[in-house]
């Protein structure tokens, strides 16, 4: 079987895996963004308890491997509570909290990077604290954050491959399955790698486009 | 409250600490409606802090600031409303870079005064015409020169129709050739009777437009008087040595 025959034979299964990878990425990143926004607001709150929750989340996410987090959720918590959840759901929970923790730090950094003079100017015009935050600070913070957020998205999309170990038939898992049948490690891992690469490349292109579109450095 | 006799601004026993550092050490001063007051003094003397206490961007550690008889207190419920009447112009312009020039001028009137967009834009266009930038309405702030930015910032503050304008070293961040266009706008404003408090290093301008000059040094008003009194016949030794330094530079 030459390379192209192997490709033809493997592609349906790889595409199925890719679809699952994309679904897992999209759902996880959706919740990760929400967790990240909420957690960053908690991290900047005056309330010491809310700040504490944020600190713990970030410390745990940073301090433990994603693989351990996924095992803990899929086997540890479910075992303790004596419930069963799908590998997909476990993957979503692990990736959402993992990426959410990192994103909260990115958002916090973005908001704090906005010139304090912006808040002063807005308040001196009579804008309330909330109006200042939503109309003046957040729009600028988003622009500052875009490159780091996209970077985190890329990392999380690739991290979905770790969820293969709890048996989810996403792209990496699909590649593994094909190899165990065909013993064509070299070619199949190239195919898997290229598929990840294309996804990330397209996302990066899109991000560059958006970044340029909202840039403040030149006249529109 | 709005008795014409009562001063526009009353500052009483104002002290401000940053940590253990006492920046303002007891300031008392009244500013009358229609008065143009220039605040001069060495850097680090507390001039800007004094100005920022007037609209409560800095909260006094001790003492009170009244504007039109209303206490400026950051925790007061109506502080946003009180700030609407006090325009401020900053050294570094602080235009909102994600909004066009016109949006910079209309955001506060629309959000705070519930003005219709069309009406706010009409007011905005009048103001831009006054500062000579009517053709820049759709430009983004980052495409403007420093002098243009500062003129937009003045127009933005005026869009709220404030009764008092504060200027915090409005020309200090400008290239020399752009200082004049900003001072011209301020001169015009003074002529129209606006109440103004201006922290500045432009001694010629201070002498020309102000009714009164305050010399602040080491956190206190070391000397106050008409421009002629302060510039031509200073009484305080610190005023003398400061003026000798800046005027002979």
Q: Model confidence over A34-84: pLDDT tens digits?
A: 999 999 999 999 999 999 999 999 999 999 999 999 999 999 999 999 999
Q: Which residues of A touch B (CB under 8 A)?
A: 115, 117-118, 120-128, 131, 135-136, 139-140, 143, 216-220
Provide the pLDDT for residue A1: 78
**Average pLDDT of B43-69?**
94
Contact B94 A120 (CB under 8 A): yes
Per-residue confidence (pLDDT) for residue B1, from 0 to 100: 47
Dmax (CA) for chain A in angstroms is 74
Domain boundaries, chain A: 3-219
- Residue-level pLDDT at A216: 81
Strand partners, B29: B11
DSSP codes, B171-229: TTTS-HHHHHHHHHHHHHHHHTT-EEEEE-S-HHHHHHH-SEEEEEETTEEEEEE-HII
Q: Is the pLDDT of residue B4 over 60?
A: no
Secondary structure percentages of chain B, helix, strand, coil, to 5: 40, 25, 35
Per-residue pLDDT band for B220 (boundaries 50, 70, 90) equals: very high
Segment A93-107 mean pLDDT: 97
Minimum Cα–Cα distance from A122: chain B residue: B108
**Residue A56, CA distances (Å) to A94, B8, B15, B161 in order:** 15, 51, 40, 48
Which of B80, B92, B94 lies closest to A128 in CB terms?
B80
- Whether A25 has a pLDDT exceeding 80, the answer reads yes
Q: Cα A35 from chain centroid?
A: 11
pLDDT for B146-204, tens place per residue?
999 999 999 999 999 999 999 999 999 999 999 999 999 999 999 999 999 999 999 99
Residue A155's pLDDT is: 97
Q: Residue A220 is nearest to which of B83, B140, B160, comparing CB atoms?
A: B140
In this structure, the strands spanning B164-168 and B62-67 are: unpaired
Residues of A in contact with B173 (CB under 8 A): none
Chain B hits for A140, Cβ within 8 Å: 97-98
State the smallest CA–CA distance between residue B227 and chain A in angstroms.
29
Assign domain A3-219 to its CATH architecture: Orthogonal Bundle (1.10)
Say whether residue B94 is in contact with chain A using an 8 A CB cutoff: yes
pLDDT in the model for residue B130 = 96
pLDDT digits (tens, 9 = 90+) for B223-235: 999 999 999 999 9
- Mean pLDDT value of segment A11-40: 96
Q: What pLDDT is attached to residue A214?
A: 87
Q: Give the A:B interface size as CB pairs under 8 Å.
A: 70
Is the confidence at residue A219, as pLDDT, over 80?
A: no
Which residues in chain B are contacts of A146 at CB distance < 8 A? none
Q: Chain A within 8 Å of B54 (Cβ-Cβ)?
A: no
Q: By three-state DSSP, how is residue B6 classified?
A: coil
What is the spatial distance between Cα A160 and Cα A157, in angstroms, rounded to a whole number?
6
- Mean per-residue pLDDT, A3-20: 95
Task: Identify the helix (H) or strand (E) that includes residue A106.
Answer: helix A87-113
Note the pLDDT of residue A220: 43
Average model confidence (pLDDT) for chain B?
Answer: 94
Which residues of chain A lie closer than 8 angstroms to B84, CB-CB?
125-126
| Average pLDDT of the residues of chain A | 94
Interface of B with A in 175-234 (CB under 8 A): none
Q: How far is B113 from chain A (nearest CA, A)?
A: 10
Give the pLDDT score at A86: 95
The pTM score is 0.86
Residue A65: the pLDDT is: 97
Beta bridge partners of B11: B29, B65
Mean pLDDT for A119-132 is 96
């Amino acid at each position: 079987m030459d390379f192209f025959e192997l490709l033809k034979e493997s592609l349906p299964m790889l595409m199925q895996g890719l679809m699952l990878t994309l679904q897992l990425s999209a759902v996880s990143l959706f919740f990760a963004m929400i967790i990240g926004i909420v957690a960053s607001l908690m991290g900047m709150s005056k309330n010491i308890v809310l700040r504490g929750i944020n600190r713990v989340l970030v410390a745990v996410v940073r301090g433990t491997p994603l693989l351990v987090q996924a095992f803990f959720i899929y086997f540890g918590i479910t075992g303790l509570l004596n419930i069963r959840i799908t590998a997909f759901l476990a993957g979503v929970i692990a990736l959402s909290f993992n990426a959410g923790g990192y994103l909260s730090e990115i958002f916090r950094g973005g908001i704090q990077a906005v010139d304090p003079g912006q808040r002063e100017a807005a308040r001196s015009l009579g804008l309330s604290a909330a109006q200042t935050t939503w109309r003046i600070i957040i729009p600028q913070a988003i622009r500052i954050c875009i490159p780091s957020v996209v970077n985190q998205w890329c990392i999380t999309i690739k991290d979905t491959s770790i969820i293969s170990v709890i048996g989810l038939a996403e792209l990496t898992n699909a590649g593994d399955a094909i190899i165990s049948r065909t013993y064509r490690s070299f070619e199949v891992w190239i195919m898997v790698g290229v598929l990840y690469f294309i996804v990330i490349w397209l996302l990066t292109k899109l991000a560059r486009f958006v970044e340029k579109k909202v840039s403040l450095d030149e006249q529109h | 409250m709005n008795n014409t006799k009562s001063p526009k601004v009353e500052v009483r026993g104002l002290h401000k600490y940053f940590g253990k550092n006492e920046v303002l050490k007891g300031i008392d001063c009244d500013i009358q409606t229609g008065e143009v007051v220039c605040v001069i003094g060495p850097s680090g003397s507390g001039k800007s802090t004094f100005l920022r206490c007037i609209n409560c961007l800095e909260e006094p550690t001790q003492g009170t600031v009244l504007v039109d008889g209303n206490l400026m207190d950051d925790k007061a419920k109506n502080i946003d409303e009180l700030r609407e009447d006090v325009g401020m112009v900053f050294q570094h312009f602080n235009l909102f870079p994600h909004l066009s020039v016109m949006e910079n001028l209309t955001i506060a009137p629309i959000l705070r005064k519930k003005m219709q967009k069309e009406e706010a834009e009409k007011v905005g266009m009048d103001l831009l015409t006054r500062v000579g930038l009517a053709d820049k309405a759709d430009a983004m702030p980052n495409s403007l020169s420093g002098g243009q930015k500062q003129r937009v910032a003045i127009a933005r503050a005026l869009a709220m129709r404030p009764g008092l304008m504060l200027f915090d070293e409005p020309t200090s961040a400008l290239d020399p050739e752009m200082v004049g266009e900003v001072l011209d706008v301020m001169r015009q404003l003074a002529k129209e009777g606006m109440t103004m408090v201006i922290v500045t290093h432009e001694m010629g301008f201070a002498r020309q437009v102000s009714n009164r000059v305050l010399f602040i040094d080491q956190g206190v008003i070391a000397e106050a008087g008409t421009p002629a009194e302060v510039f031509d016949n200073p009484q305080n030794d610190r005023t003398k040595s400061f003026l000798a330094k800046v005027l002979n530079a």
